[in-house]
Amino acid sequence: EFQSLRARPDLLRRLAEDAGGATSTVAEAADLPERIENADRVLKARGPDEPLWDNGWTLALLAVLLGLEWTLRRRHYLL
């Protein structure tokens, strides 16, 4: 990869075909939306939002860790 930085379209084309895909050039980029099957069907999956900072345990853990860090720094004269 570091020895030759030239593009190898033949290798890219073969890899794309083996994976069931296709290649295109920069000149063909404008035609990509038409070439993509089911381009109008987009699935968006998103799980429920779980607010982390509204949890009391998170706040307590943060306070303990900050207090521990402050204590260790003070004990080792790093403050």
**Cβ atoms within 10 A of the Cβ of 52, count?**
8
Domain boundaries, the chain: 9-75
Is the pLDDT at 43 greater than 80? The verdict is no
Is the pLDDT at 10 greater than 70? The verdict is yes
Residue 22 to residue 13: CA distance in whole angstroms: 7
Q: Is the pTM of this model over 0.95?
A: no
Residue 58 to residue 52: CA distance in whole angstroms: 7
Is the pLDDT at 50 greater than 80? The verdict is no
Q: Which stretches within 1-79 are classed as H helix?
A: 9-18, 32-35, 56-75
